């Protein structure tokens, strides 16, 4: 399970930012909770910090946290308009919201 988590984390940190934001949107949207409320809770509690694998180097960990903050801000201000996700390249599986 740890290797699956690390694999998913590595794929998320290396994907284009617009795809990353789409994945965060899909993940939050799949929750039965209030969308905007979930964004506020994520920003306040920073629970995504624990998603970083313990073996992760500090630069990659900060890149992930930065991308989450950017995604949350875009989604909160509605500057990101979700669209039907383009199919990922053949070498990638869908990351979240499977």
Q: Name the residue ranges covered by the structural domains of the chain.
A: 2-76
pLDDT tens across 26-48, in order?
Answer: 988 888 888 888 888 888 888 78
pLDDT score recorded for residue 60: 94
Q: Comparing C-alpha atoms, which of 33, 28, 1, 37 is closest to residue 9? A: 1
Longest dimension (CA), the chain: 36
Phi-psi region of 63 (alpha: psi -120 to 50; beta: other; left: phi over 0): alpha
Q: Using CA atoms, how far apart are residues 95 and 98, in angstroms rounded to an integer?
A: 7
pLDDT tens across 56-98, in order?
Answer: 999 999 999 999 999 988 888 876 655 545 545 544 455 555 4
């Amino acid at each position: 399970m740890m290797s699956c988590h690390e694999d998913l984390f590595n794929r998320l940190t290396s994907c284009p930012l617009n795809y990353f934001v789409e994945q965060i949107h899909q993940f939050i949207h799949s929750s039965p909770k209030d969308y905007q409320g979930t964004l506020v809770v994520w920003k306040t509690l920073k629970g995504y910090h624990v998603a970083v694998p313990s073996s992760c180097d500090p630069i990659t960990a900060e890149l992930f946290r930065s991308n989450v903050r950017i995604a949350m801000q875009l989604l909160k201000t509605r500057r990101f308009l979700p669209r039907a996700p383009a199919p990922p390249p053949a070498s990638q599986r869908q990351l979240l919201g499977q």
